[in-house]
A and B are shown apart, each in its own frame.
Chain A
Amino acid sequence: MSISFKGRVIATVAAAAMVASACSSAATPAPTMAPATSAPTIAPATSAATTAPATSAATTASTATAAASASLLDPASVPLTLAEFNALPPAPACTGTKGTIGLADATLSAPFFEGIRQGVEDMAARLCYTVIFQSADDGATQTNQVQVMLAQKIQALIYIPSGADAASVPVTDANAANVPVIAVDRYATTGKYVTFIAADSVPGAAKICDYLAQGIGGKGDILVIQGQIGTTPYLARTQGCNQALANYPNIHIVGQAPANWDRTQGYNVSSDLLQAHPSAVGIFGMSDDMAIGAAQAAAAAGKTEFIVGFDGLPDALQAIKDGKQQATMLQPCFHFGMLAVVDAVLTIQGQAAGIPAQQLTMPILVNQANVDQYLNKGYYGTLG
């Protein structure tokens, strides 16, 4: 006997709903994608200039003053924070615009990319350049956006790829149009770039995992909340963390699961893992959004965990101050944006020769002891 019509309809629609929900959860727009370096094949040792921003505010303030008298276009003296930027002496008034720079950013619901945007727009305004700005959740949309920007005759492109794989089409299009490309946070494997600006995720992850290991006394069980599997930040931070944990044979990763850089998924996954592994005493969230989700889940479950993240989101710094999270690695994204604009302007003015191929910044370890030096200082622009 055949299935009744109604039964068939129900089953078909349910199957369609199932497939669609599986597809939609598989192709999550990854709204809070964490930033990081791209393929770990970049060996930090080969970068010509590695900025170490772990200087005190006083030193950088005096550097900024020096910049006032020197040219504004000195990459070495680009301010680190919004506070320092505002402390620069007033710039000469702009008489019209000197040129146009395109910014193809990843999704703004990840504060890191919003911080980059603010850095780009603030510095461009100071240097009298117009910015054409677009942001996207996925590579396909970004490709369209870049093509439109090129049609609008931008003179340089600052490109922060979104999507799990950096799309190289925008880069090859820009190359073909003789528009120089500055990549921030990650880059596609084909295409020519003037420079690549990012944080050094592998040693950064090694440092934070080492801190976690020390924090739980060198032994015990930990959980890892992973980013989107296969993405370059995931690969880099996995590599770095494993390097660090190799020195602690008594520490075991008893549970790990991906949460796709999303805070909601981070919460749900942590909640389940905490139930499955009541012996866990530490959690490494590969991005702060997921780490905050893990912290909330631990609080709801009534458990105290040693939680570390990565990125230095203002929310995370506040959580560290409140004691809900223990540490993170701060990436100065506002600084990245400003540096990208300075490099773009130098290139437009024909002075690209001195710009190194890679500019990797070692992120800063922030914990409760030093969080006041970094919270609300403008490392993420107006976000905190």
Chain B
Amino acid sequence: MTASWVLAAGRRLLAVADHEVTIPSKERAGDGAASGGEPASANGSAPGTSRASVAAVLRRASRAGGSSGGLAVVFVVLCAFFALSSPYFLTYGNALAIGDEIATLGVIAAGSTLVIISGGIDLSVGASVALGATVMGVFYQYQGIPLPIAIVCGLLAGTVVGLINGLVITRGRIAPFIATLGTMTAARGVANMMTNGVQVSGYPLWFDQLATKRYFGLSVCTAALILVFILVGIYLSRRPGGRQVYAVGGNETVAKLAGINVDVVKIKAYALTGFLSALGGIILASRLDSATPSLGTGIELQVIAAVVIGGASLSGGIGWMGGTVLGVLIIGILSNGLNIMGVSSFMQQVVIGTVIVGAVMIDSFRRRAH
């Protein structure tokens, strides 16, 4: 329902923009009651029509987010299955272990949710993981910079990669897939060059303990994961900036007509993803007590899978953070549960792939049924 409505609304509004057709006044009045999150507009946008339709798009999109019931069902079914298969699955200790294992994936998925909702895609997250960790490692070990500052440098490095992505995609007008493919290769190359391909290890105890020492059951890294989900989730659903992301993803032309600076929205989404990827890299380095240029290889596809399972549409405009959380959890408990059951790793790959497709299909059927 929502999908076809958005498509139809978009087509009609494009036609308006091309002066081919005018929107009937009845619809204009009906949609005039904008919800509280009017996108900021100042300069001569087409009055009423586009802004009102954008508002309608946003209302639909955020409602669509709440209907990930199919996902919740999948999650509960999986948990029940694993709990029945092994007494060790549904334990406090295992829950903590799962939290540890999905921390990097989750942190990156939070940022990628914004990118995907805005209609783009980011393949360079894995390379930013490696670059963030490597910059931190090299600055600390080889340049003698104090570790907290080196960590900040690593985060900056990831943000820079994200900024480059955003600029190349918006100003350079290059398709996100290609642009991020390029930065993915180049960023990993830089990480390799900085260390000559070698691991950088040997960090102080407190850095190690970010991942191992638990305060009220949570390690610092897992707490960071939860914080990231909450903060980015609030930004996405309640802040004007977040709503602009939906507008840009739903229909870029409409958003532009409504006065949204599409380029800035996209650049912010990619920069945030780059920052969060570097944070994921530092979390991983803390967990493993080493930074390698090969960290995070292949994680970009896991991230996309998690976000898509969570209900985001790869063509943009639809998705919500809660869905991404579910997607990340489903992937996390899948590999954890299958390992606990002792399933062979080859069989695990088949199962994980099947569940990914199944989860998306269930959700798609359910939404279509509305």
Q: Which A residues are within 8 Å of any B CB, using their own CB? A: 3-7, 9-11, 13-15, 17-22, 24-26, 28-29, 31-32, 107-109, 111, 114, 135, 229, 255, 257-258, 263-264, 267-269, 271-278, 292-293, 296-297, 299-302, 315, 318, 383
Write the B328-366 contact mask toward A (1 if CB under 8 angstroms, else 0): 000000011001111001100110111011001100110
Q: What range describes how many residues of B lie at the interface?
A: 35 or more
| The stretch of B91-99, B146-154, B256-264 that contacts the partner chain | B91-99
B23 at the interface (CB under 8 A from A): no
Q: Is the CB of A10 within 8 A of B313?
A: yes
Residues in B whose Cβ lies below 8 Å from that of A11: 357, 360-361, 364
Q: Does B198 contact A (CB under 8 A)?
A: yes
- Interface core residue of B211, B353, B365 (most chain A CB under 10 Å): B353
A257, B93: Cβ atoms under 8 Å? no
Q: Which residues of B contact A268 (CB under 8 A)?
A: 101, 335, 339
Tell me if B323 is interfacial: C-beta within 8 Å of chain A.
Answer: no
8 additional A-B residue pairs with CB within 8 Å, beyond A258-B345, A269-B339: A14-B305, A28-B297, A28-B298, A109-B292, A257-B345, A275-B336, A276-B341, A300-B219
Contact A114 B197 (CB under 8 A): yes
A271: contacting residue among B100, B219, B294, B356, CB under 8 A = B100
Task: Report A223 CB to chain B, min CB distance, Å.
Answer: 11
B360 touches A315 (CB 8 A): no
Are B314 and A9 in contact, with the CB atoms below 8 A? yes
Establish whether residues B340 and A276, one from each chain, have CB atoms under 8 Å apart when the complex forms. Answer: yes
Contact A10 B360 (CB under 8 A): yes
What 6 A-B pairs are tightest by C-beta distance, nearest first?
A108-B197, A31-B294, A272-B339, A7-B364, A6-B3, A21-B301
Is the CB–CB distance between A109 and B336 below 8 Å?
Answer: no
- Chain B interface main SS type: helix
Which of A13, A278, A302, A315 is B201 in contact with, Cβ under 8 Å? A315
Quick check: B305 and A276 within 8 Å, CB to CB?
no
Query: With contacts A17-B301, A315-B202 known, is A296 near B353, CB below 8 A?
Result: no
Least Cβ–Cβ distance between A317 and chain B, in angstroms: 11
Contact of A24 among B202, B301, B361 (CB under 8 A): B301
Residues of chain B at the chain A interface (Cβ within 8 Å): 3-4, 86, 88-89, 91, 93-94, 96-97, 100-101, 196-199, 201-202, 208, 211-212, 214, 219, 284, 287-290, 292-295, 297-298, 301-302, 304-305, 308-309, 313-315, 335-336, 339-342, 345-346, 349-350, 352-354, 356-357, 360-361, 364-365, 367-368
Which A residues are in CB contact (< 8 Å) with B356? 14-15, 17-18
Q: How far is the CA of A107 from the CA of B352 in the complex (A)?
A: 29
Say yes or no: B212 contacts A14, CB within 8 Å: no
| A258 to B212 CA separation, bound complex (whole angstroms) | 23
Contact status of A263 and B364, CB under 8 A, knowing A14-B309, A29-B297: no
Residues of A within 8 A of B284 (CB): 264
- Bound state CA distance, A289 and B293, in angstroms? 15
- Shortest distance from the beta carbon of A140 to any chain B beta carbon, whole Å: 17
Q: Are B339 and A257 in contact (CB under 8 A)?
A: yes
Q: B288 near A3 (CB under 8 angstroms)? A: no
Minimum C-beta distance from B315 to chain A (A): 7
A-B contact pairs, 6 of them (CB 8 A): A4-B4, A4-B368, A24-B297, A24-B298, A263-B290, A292-B289
Distance of B206 from chain A, by nearest CB (Å): 14
Given known contacts A109-B294, A275-B97, is B302 in contact with A292 (CB within 8 Å)?
no
Structural contact, B288 and A296, CB atoms closer than 8 A: yes
Question: Given A14-B356, A107-B197, are A22 and B349 also a contact pair (CB < 8 Å)?
Answer: yes
